Amino acid sequence: MRSSSTTVMHEYCRIAIEEYYEDTIKTYSNEVFVHEYAHRLFPRRRLPVWRGLSRFMRTLRPGARVLDVGCGTGKDVQVLRSRGYMAEGVDISEEMIGWARSNVGDFFRNVDLRDIRPIEAERFEGIISLAVLQHIHRSDIHLALRNMSSLLCDGGTMYLLTKQGEGEYWDTRFGNDFRRATTLYSRCEILGMLGMLGFSVEFEESFSLLREGSRDCWLALLGRKVANGSGDQ
């Protein structure tokens, strides 16, 4: 996999929705990428996101049931369970789920955030979704947030981390064979959708990170579900 110390400049473009998901899922289902993802790519403890995740955990009761949406190889579920929470994860990639089950435990299911019927009757006291929303096409982002909200108990908290900005592009920092479609959402967009879904934001942080040759702006949000919003708008 390609890595570079030179800052990568993104080339913004419009991406057809079929290609958007097909190529991104293909990358996250590649055995080489999954191995690198699990062992090298995203050491959470070194990132500012850890502050928000720690704050999220402080909102939970001991032993609370927590869902990691877009859990990847399950590292964050592992952290949550080590702190006594009943954490589990869902991901669209069967390969990621397979790695998580083999190396973390039998706490993971293959679920597409756009279609949560396999788990729609379940409820969680907390939900996290870290570096996932930027891989959701703009036409599906409200559906994705509404689905997460429907899985969260009233009064529950949700911690989100996503790239922020405007436009969409192919993230090719690891080479064209591992390209991932990326959509940037503004702070106002995310806050507006959370507000419609009945969330109050208790913590937010914006920060910039240089990783694998690419400098990106990130938005971290901790929201509490305080009311039934107008999610169908």
Q: Are 122 and 153 in contact (CB under 8 A)?
A: no
The predicted structure's pLDDT at residue 13: 80
Asked if pLDDT for residue 48 goes beyond 50, the answer is yes
pLDDT of 233 reads 42
Q: Are 193 and 142 in contact (CB under 8 A)?
A: yes
Instruction: Write out 140-161 in H/E/C secondary structure.
Output: HHHHHHHHHHHHEEEEEEEEEE
Three state DSSP letters for 27-39 = HHCCHHHHHHHHH
10 closest CA partner among 220, 189, 165: 165
Distance CA 215, CA 182 (A): 14
Provide the token pair at 146.
Answer: 């509404």
73 contacts 45 by C-beta, under 8 angstroms:
no
Tokens for 50?
Answer: 């850890």
Cβ within 8 Å of residue 45, ≥6 positions away: none
Confidence grade of residue 229 (pLDDT, cut at 50, 70, 90): low
Q: Tokens 């996250």 identify what position?
A: 28
Rounded to an integer, the average pLDDT of 45-59 is 82
Exposed, middle or buried by CB within 10 Å (0-12, 13-18, 19+), for 182? buried
pLDDT (0 to 100) of residue 216: 86
| Domain-wise residue ranges, the chain | 17-225
Q: Decide which of 72 and 46 is more confident.
A: 72
Mean pLDDT, the chain, rounded, equals 89
Q: Which of 22-26, 39-43, 70-74, 144-148 shows the lowest mean pLDDT across its residues?
A: 39-43
What residue has token string 């579920």? Answer: 77
Mind listing the pLDDT tens digit for each residue in 197-214?
999 999 999 998 766 556
Say which DSSP state 93 is in. -
182 three-state secondary structure: strand
Residue 5 has pLDDT above 50, yes or no: no
> What does the radius of gyration of the chain's CA atoms come to, in whole angstroms?
17
Q: What is the mean pLDDT of residues 137-150?
A: 97
Whether the pLDDT of residue 45 is over 60: the answer is no
Residue 231: pLDDT above 70?
A: no
> Which of the residue ranges 19-23, 103-107, 215-219 would you say has the lowest mean pLDDT?
215-219
Structure tokens given for 155: 């009064």
Residue 1 has pLDDT above 70, yes or no: no
Considering the domain 17-225 in this protein, what is its CATH number? 3.40.50.150
Start-to-end C-alpha separation, the chain: 42
Who contacts 205 (Cβ-Cβ below 8 Å, separation ≥6)? 48, 51, 52, 219, 220
Place of tokens 């409200």: 142
Residue 27 has pLDDT above 90, yes or no: yes
Residue 110 has pLDDT above 90, yes or no: yes
- Per the structure block, which two tokens stand in for 158? 């949700």
